[in-house]
Structure 1
Amino acid sequence: MNFIDCHCHMAADEFLQDIDEVVEQSRKAGVVALVSVTEHEHEFERMIALSGRYSGFVLPCFGIHPIQSDADCYRSVTMQDLEPALPMFEKYKDKLVAIGEIGLDFTPWLASTLEQREEQQRVFHMQLKIAQKLDLPVNVHSRSAGRQTISFLKEHGIQKVLLHNFAGRLSAALKGVKAGYYFSFPPAVTRNNQREKIIRQIPLENICLETDSPSLGPNKEERNIPENVRISCQYIADVKGLSPETVCEITSKNAMCLFPKICENLHS
């Protein structure tokens, strides 16, 4: 089986010490591509370096996450977080496979005020415009804002979308399906049955695989790694009553449809 991890964080600090080993393990497990996102501007150059080091395998995305961190303190994003990154999108536009990780996060203790949420929407909107200008798909975060995120994407005419680790209501997800959006689920879904109903109802033709490495693995206390994409595949197969081979085949086709530059890299 040839797996595609459509959402991971290979430029994260957690992979600094053993990235070669992690990449090699992923390849041995049957992973053929890692769509790797960023959260902060300071990860951009590291992401490009990794994509050069593992050419055709680590595929770079640029994005400013709706939640930022300052000395281990988490806060809602501001335009000041995005502005220094803007020249980088243009500089590396030919290398990017998507814009991400971007989106909305209305977790009450992180974005409790209307002003914070409106600022998130401004940052999100500006990055959506970059994606449209560069004709790239978007890799989207939507914690505590599933309905709002899908509505926002539709309002702005965004068509090429991956909603990663979607945990919103089924009714919102089905609106996303109708809009042609894709959804992906990390290995953490195996810890409980919260996503079972959504996974069962979303057509396999709208599902991709992800790990969100180094987060959201099968064991909360352990670092997640891309080879665990097999766990997501098996869980989706079990929920839908399909073989993991079928889930792998269809989700990989979906990934190549959503992220066409994957095909270019696989055949280069």
Structure 2
Amino acid sequence: MNEVASASAFDFADSHVHLASEAFADDVEAIIERARAAGARALVCIGESPAAAARARAIAARHPSLVFHTCGVHPHDAAAWDDVRDAEAVREAVTLGAVAVGECGLDYHYDHSPRATQRQALDAQLRLAAELDRPIVLHTREAEDDTRDMLRDAQAAGVRGVLHCFTGTPGLAEAGLAAGWHVSFSGIITFRNWTDETLLRLVPDDRLLVESDAPYLAPVPYRGKRNESSWVPLTVRRLAEVRGIAAGDLAAITLRNTRRFFALPSDDASALRSPATS
């Protein structure tokens, strides 16, 4: 068991983890068991492409009541979006249990896909979210104006979502909250160069989520290593410290929010108990 798993004293959710990533190809079961031992009671495995979504679904099938999956197309791959093929892939994924559409969005930092194409792919996935009555998991980086426009469109269409791994401005967070969305924070908030504590207090309790975004963005003191869900308690503790509440209370709030946002079933402690400890 890793250090965090042995030290954690509360249950928590990881609202965004890439368990289907090639980075976990050799030891995903061990990663999940460490998360379970650390107190994880819900892991939302992101399918950022139809292929990743299929792998995520298979992982979730092996861990019912703990791992859940999504399906979408990441903005980096928006240039390959096909209105027929990819839309049908998302629809099929939802029939097979996908709890959200995404990860999708806008990334104007890397511009791996043309910006107009990113917007078209995102618009298509917003329409799917409305059609399928699923929330959106949104990636946004250096695309504030277009993200604000998207939030207005989403609100008009009745689409709810989460601004995942949020590092934007307070104004963008407020726009998301005004549209009825959630905001999620990752291990970035533990980094020495994170100084915006006001932003960490801005999000109301009932709109707050936490995530690992693993295998990326490991929190301090593991920064630079391959991230994993069992380290989410470090992010919880930092966020709780800034917000002035007990870490266990914040973990309970964000676990409850994760279940409500993604419409996840309630915890079944007997189903979640590790075979090693049952």
TM-score interval for Structure 1 and Structure 2 normalised by the shorter chain: 0.7 to 0.9
1:64–1:82 Cα contact (<8 Å) kept: no
Tell me by how many angstroms 1:42 deviates: 2.2
Task: Report the equivalent of 1:52.
Answer: 61
| Alignment partner of 1:103 is 2:105 | yes
Can you list the C-alpha shifts for 1:200-243, whole angstroms capped at 9, x where unaligned?
22222221111001101113420000011111110110111111
**Residue 255 of structure 2: which of 252, 258, 267 is its match?**
252
Instruction: Give the Å deviation of 1:265.
Output: 7.2
Amino acid of the residue matched to residue 101 of structure 1?
E
Cross-structure match for 1:71: none
Distance 1:38 1:82, change over 3 A: farther
| Residue equivalent to 1:235 | 238
Q: Secondary structure of 1:263's match?
A: coil
> Offset at 1:147?
4.3
1:131 maps to amino acid: A
Query: Which region of structure 1 is more displaced relative to structure 2, 8-17 or 164-173?
Result: 164-173
Q: Which amino acid aligns with 2:167?
A: A
Secondary structure in 2 matching 1:127: helix
- What is the root-mean-square deviation of aligned Cα atoms in Å? 2.1
Q: Distance in 2 between matches of 1:82 and 1:34?
A: 29
After superposition, what is the alpha-carbon deviation per residue over 1:147-191, rounded to whole angstroms, capped at 9, x for unaligned?
431331222334421111111111121121222211111112201
Query: Which residue number corresponds to residue 177 of structure 1?
Result: 177
Unaligned runs of 5+ in 2: 1-9, 272-278
Q: Which residue of 2 aligns with 1:186?
A: 186
User: What's 1:205 paired with?
Assistant: 206
How big is each residue's C-alpha offset from its partner over 1:67-100, in whole Å with a ceiling of 9 and x where there is no partner? 13xxxxxxxx215466543322222323111111
The aligned amino acid for 2:130 is Q
Residue aligned with 1:7, SS: strand
Say whether the 8 Å CA contact 2:101–2:137 is kept in structure 1.
Answer: yes
Asked if 1:27 corresponds to 2:36, the answer is yes
Q: How does 1:1-268 map to 2 (within 5 A)?
A: 1-68=10-77, 77-80=78-81, 83-94=84-95, 95-107=97-109, 109-110=110-111, 116-156=114-154, 157=156, 158-191=158-191, 192-218=193-219, 219-260=222-263, 262-263=264-265
SS state at 1:166 partner: coil
Question: Could you tell me which amino acid in structure 1 is paired with residue 199 of structure 2?
Answer: I
CA 1:180–1:80 in structure 2 vs 1: closer, same or farther (change >3 Å)?
closer
Deviation of the 1:56 alpha carbon: 2.1
Q: Secondary structure at the match of 1:5?
A: strand
- 3-state SS of the aligned residue for 1:104? strand
Which residue of 2 is the match for residue 73 of structure 1? Answer: none
For the Cα contact (< 8 Å) 1:105–1:145, is it kept in 2?
yes
**Any unmatched runs of 5+ in structure 1?**
69-76
Cα distance between partner residues in 1 of 2:268 and 2:250? 20
Equivalent pair of 2:130/2:159 in contact (CA under 8 Å): no
TM-score when normalising by structure 2:
0.85
Aligned partner of 2:4 in structure 1 is none
CA deviations over 1:125-144 (Å, ceiling 9, x no partner)? 11111111110111110111
Q: Tell me the distance in 1 between the aligned counterparts of 2:26 and 2:64.
A: 19
Equivalent residue of 1:23, what SS?
helix
Shift of 1:266: 5.1
CA change 1:195–1:216 in 2 (3 A) is farther
Shift of 1:31: 0.3
